[in-house]
Amino acid sequence: MRTYDLLKLPHGRITKICCIGAGYVGGPTCAVTANKNPDVSVTVVDLSESRIAAWNSSTLPIYEPGLWEQVQGARDGGADRPQNLFFSTDIDKAIDEAELIFVSVNTPTKTMGAGAGLGSDTSYVEMAIRKIAQVATSDKIVVEKSTVPVRTAETMREILKAIGKPGVHFEVLSNPEFLAEGTAIRDLLAPDRILIGSLLNDHGLQAAAALAEVYARWVPRERIITMNLWSSELAKLAANALLAQRISSINALSAVCEATGADIDEIAFAVGTDSRIGPKMLKASVGFGGSCFKKDVLSLAYISECLHLPEVAAYWQSVVDINEYQKDRFTKRIIRCLYNTLNNKKVAVLGFSYKKDTGDTRESAAISIIDALVAEGAKISIYDPQVLESQIWSDIEKFKGARGDVKQYVTVCKDVYKACEGAHAIIVLTEWDEFSNKQIRKRMDWQRVAESMDRPSFVFDGRNIVDAGKLEEMGFRVECIGKPGSGWFKG
């Protein structure tokens, strides 16, 4: 076996990067990497022809503030910079040409077999690894960017060794991604940390150093952390589990607030000023969504179960259980306030994405809440400033509560006023700035909405972004998360 040695890299450093998976992570991370490393060629590949075509067009496949500028600069080049970002479906060529390959494919929750509904489905990762092993004719650094169960790198190493061509050496690194959607570009440009896990032998450390060089072009050295492979893999799951646990904790407290007259925003402020707790990720909500929190917490619970740690598994499972409880509690409150019948009542849903500044709807609380309201016979009109109408219909088709054609019960509106016209209730499910009546600019005209609705007009704020007092002055009855509602004695 030829030994892997960084000095054998052309120019002694990374000059060509390939990224397998042109999704929410692969696209933005590579756009920033290419911008910050103009002398490195970065090719993002995907099985999906339509996704690659979109990345090569002026309508990118995902909405993310600041993404267009990053993509355009490196993809199209200009007078002062080369073209060094490419999107392609020629996976084999990109793999073979690169010295470093990011694996950034999806790792959803398993839907069948052992661990269905809990464990991570690593089949896309394995498919990508097998492809690398089959195609590579020169040494490669293979970087796990996807979030994976701890010790996945061991499986990757085994497959690469078994299938790879004789004399070709692969070094596997873990380099989990911590960006959040909606702030992806900001997070990538100024990350809290870059985490690189490697084997702690010479080859592993050399490969980690090569990857660190790529990031060091824009990330201060002290923020580039290196550690052993397994710690790095587990640290990613741990970070998401702890963040999700904070949200479930504050949401559990919000139930206590609603029963007592305490205010969850005041509680979050009071505890968040303790420097040991800190203020972030303490915003009570209708429940966390997104493609990762639920998936990664369940994955950690399943790993714990497989390691014969049932108490640990139950602990993490409870984070997801509270999240489901929060969505259910909010839905029941809506039904109760609307006099226990929603039959044929128009309900306007403002916001369909799982958080603001993204068009992503994966695991959005809106999906299960609307499903439950449809089951009660409500007529739902949905408005979201970014989610594509086709995406909303594709999510709604999976409804359990629908009777017959779902289009009898649901309409998708391009105009917020049309969505609210004649409604008995408005439900705010995403914290888009325009829904807040606290903002001066770009906000919707709540007075206009008040005049167009049926009475009594309810607002259920699942994000605590409205000023309830002001809306009550306009005649609304307002129910927020973790706060006394309009019906409360305010003494």
Ligand X SMILES: NC(=O)C1=CN([C@@H]2O[C@H](COP(=O)(O)OP(=O)(O)OC[C@H]3O[C@@H](n4cnc5c(N)ncnc54)[C@H](O)[C@@H]3O)[C@@H](O)[C@H]2O)C=CC1
Ligand Y SMILES: O=C(O)[C@H]1O[C@H](OP(=O)(O)OP(=O)(O)OC[C@H]2O[C@@H](n3ccc(=O)[nH]c3=O)[C@H](O)[C@@H]2O)[C@H](O)[C@@H](O)[C@@H]1O
Residues numbered 268 to 307 that lie near ligand Y (CB under 6 A) are 281-283, 285, 288-290, 292-293
471 exposure class (CB count in 10 Å sphere: 0-12, 13-18, 19+): buried
Residues numbered 422 to 451 that lie near ligand X (CB under 6 A) are none
How far, in Å, CA of 67 to CA of 141, rounded? 27
Fill in the amino acid letter for 14. I
Of these partners, ligand X, ligand Y, none, which one is at the site of residue 41 (CB under 5 to 8 Å by kind)? Answer: none
Q: Are strands 41-45 and 16-20 parallel, antiparallel or unpaired?
A: parallel
Residues numbered 216 to 245 that lie near ligand X (CB under 6 A) are none
How far, in Å, CA of 47 to CA of 88, rounded? 9
User: Considering only residues 68, 124, 218, 230, which one is a binding residue for ligand X as defined by CB under 6 A?
Assistant: 124
**Using an 8 Å Cβ cutoff, are 69 and 52 in contact?**
no
Residues numbered 311 to 370 that lie near ligand Y (CB under 6 A) are 354-355
Q: Which residues are annotated as a binding site for NAD(+)?
A: 21-26, 46, 51, 105-109, 146-147, 181, 292-295, 362
Of these partners, ligand Y, ligand X, none, which one is at the site of residue 410 (CB under 5 to 8 Å by kind)? Answer: none
Residues numbered 152 to 191 that lie near ligand X (CB under 6 A) are 177, 179, 181
CB of 15 to ligand Y, least distance (A): 28
Question: Is there binding between residue 216 and ligand Y (CB under 6 A)?
Answer: no
Binding mask 11-50 for ligand X (x = CB under 6 A): ---------xxxxxxx------------------xxxx--
Instruction: Provide the strand spans (E) within 112-219.
Output: 140-144, 170-174, 194-198
Question: Is there binding between residue 247 and ligand Y (CB under 6 A)?
Answer: yes
- What tokens were used for 469? 């007092």
Q: Pick the catalytic residue: 257, 292, 420, 480?
A: 292
Length of the chain in terms of residues written: 491
> What's the maximum distance between 2 C-alpha atoms anywhere in the chain?
80
Helices within 105-228 (DSSP H only): 123-135, 152-163, 184-189, 202-216
Binding residues for ligand Y, total number by CB under 6 A: 20
Task: Rounding to the nearest 10 degrees, give the CA dihedral for residues 409, 411, 417, 420.
Answer: 20
Stretch that binds ligand X, among 105-113, 205-213, 244-252, 409-417 (CB under 6 A): 105-113
Task: Count Cβ atoms below 10 Å from residue 263 Cβ, excluding itself.
Answer: 19
Question: Is there binding between residue 107 and ligand X (CB under 6 A)?
Answer: yes
Nearer to ligand Y, 285 or 436 (CB): 285
For residue 383, list its beta bridge partners: 350, 413
Question: Is there binding between residue 435 and ligand Y (CB under 6 A)?
Answer: no
User: Considering only residues 44, 60, 105, 153, which one is a binding residue for ligand X as defined by CB under 6 A?
Assistant: 105
- What tokens were used for 448? 């206009």
User: Considering only residues 52, 153, 179, 369, which one is a binding residue for ligand Y as defined by CB under 6 A?
Assistant: 179
Of these partners, ligand X, ligand Y, none, which one is at the site of residue 20 (CB under 5 to 8 Å by kind)? Answer: ligand X
Report CA Rg, the chain: 24
How far, in Å, CA of 288 to CA of 282, rounded? 11
How far, in Å, CA of 222 to CA of 96, rounded? 32
Task: Count Cβ atoms below 10 Å from residue 279 Cβ, excluding itself.
Answer: 13
Nearer to ligand X, 134 or 439 (CB): 134
Q: Is 18 a catalytic residue?
A: no
Stretch that binds ligand Y, among 2-10, 69-77, 178-186, 198-206 (CB under 6 A): 178-186
- Report, as residue numbers or ranges, the catalytic residues: 292
Q: Where do contacts with ligand X occur on this chain (CB under 6 A)?
A: 20-26, 45-48, 51, 91, 104-107, 124, 127-128, 146-147, 177, 179, 181, 291-292
